[in-house]
Amino acid sequence: MVVSTYDNIRHARMISVDGVEADFQQVEFPKKTYTLDCSFSTYVQSKNTLVLTDRFAHTVYVYDTVNGTSRAVTNGNIQEPSGACVGPGDTVMVCSENMNSVVQLTADGDFLCTYPVDMKFPRSICVSRDKTRLAVSNTAIGHKKLQLYKILPTLNN
């Protein structure tokens, strides 16, 4: 498993099913410490790719954990990126809080598309194990939502 951290210079850590913690040896993280809710991560296991969001830099970092290479992804559609998860076809789904949308990227960090969501400030996201459902929740005070979306089969290719 991969978990995000805060108040730590190691922004994501691996944890085995036995509870053993490990660092990504080939990954050089940004030289900053994130506070709570400022950075989130996900891991595309089949591509050995770690994805880290930097909410206030409006950036998604994509790391090749084998070769040690990285890419900083910025795009006008990515505004305050927060929650991230692995999507259909080993793509990456990222909440874009200030755009009230979800952005889909390839595991290499290439922009694919944007999906508007029916909520303000989407923050957390996950995809079902069978890749047919997308769940998104938000942080809008007084207007909190949890939305479930069906992922069309054409998106799974």
CATH number of the domain enclosing 15: 2.130.10.10
88 HSE (CA, 13 A, CB side): 16
Question: Which tens digits make up the pLDDT trace of 112-147?
Answer: 999 999 999 999 999 999 999 999 999 888 899 999
**Which residues fall within 8 angstroms of residue 19, CB to CB, at 6 or more apart?**
none
Tell me: pLDDT of 156 over 50. no
Question: Which tens digits make up the pLDDT trace of 6-29?
Answer: 888 888 888 989 999 888 888 888
Distance CA 106, CA 53 (A): 14
Distance CA 99, CA 77 (A): 7
Count other Cβ atoms within 10 Å, centred on residue 109.
18
Work out how many domains the chain is built from and give that number. Answer: 1
pLDDT of 157: 47
Instruction: Indicate the pLDDT class of residue 154, thresholds 50, 70 and 90.
Output: low
pLDDT of 5: 86
Whole domain around residue 66: which residue ranges?
A: 2-156
Question: Which tens digits make up the pLDDT trace of 55-103?
Answer: 999 999 999 999 889 999 999 999 999 999 999 999 999 999 999 999 9
